[in-house]
Amino acid sequence: MGGLCYSTESVFTVCLKSEYILKAYIKENGLYFTRNEDIVIVKNRILKSFVDSNIFSELNDHAIAQTPTLNHRMLLLKAVIEKYVNVRLHSEHKNNPELNKKSKRQKRNKLNLFEGH
């Protein structure tokens, strides 16, 4: 258990391309993904960029015998994109002070606890 895991070349390529498209979308629209539709649009753009690529070529022989809806190559690609975008956006929101504002309740929590009655 434990230890450092290295990704395959295909997963690394998917992550790099995802980062490129994510940054381009943010630059184009100037927003921080406050709507779910924006996240879906970005994920679809990333997926479209891999349509005719040779990504996960190890699964080509396996994919021939499957229907397009059950294609493990496509499911794996969707899973990697989904995970990367979610982790990346979570990190972006956590590190951005404009998006990480505390509510009044969070600010006053200690004051309320130690106010004394």
27 belongs to a structural domain: yes
114 belongs to a structural domain: no
* Confidence at residue 30, expressed as pLDDT on a 0 to 100 scale: 73
pTM: 0.73
49 belongs to a structural domain: yes
Which one-letter amino acid corresponds to residue 111? Answer: L
Secondary structure element (H or E) that encloses residue 90, with its range: helix 72-95
- The residue segments making up the domain with residue 26 are 9-108
Scanning the structure block, which residue is given the tokens 């679809």?
44
> Within 13 Å and on the Cβ side, how many CA atoms surround 15?
11
| Residues 85 and 22 sit within 8 Å (Cβ to Cβ) | yes
90 belongs to a structural domain: yes
- Tens digit of pLDDT for each residue in 56-94? 777 766 667 777 667 778 888 899 999 999 998 888 777
Report residue 114's pLDDT band, with 50, 70 and 90 as the boundaries: low
- What's the CA gap between 116 and 101, in Å, rounded? 27
Domain count, the chain: 1
- What's the CA gap between 46 and 41, in Å, rounded? 9
Share in percent of the chain as helix, strand, coil (round to 5): 70, 0, 30
* Confidence at residue 45, expressed as pLDDT on a 0 to 100 scale: 92
- Tens digit of pLDDT for each residue in 9-32? 888 999 999 999 998 988 888 766
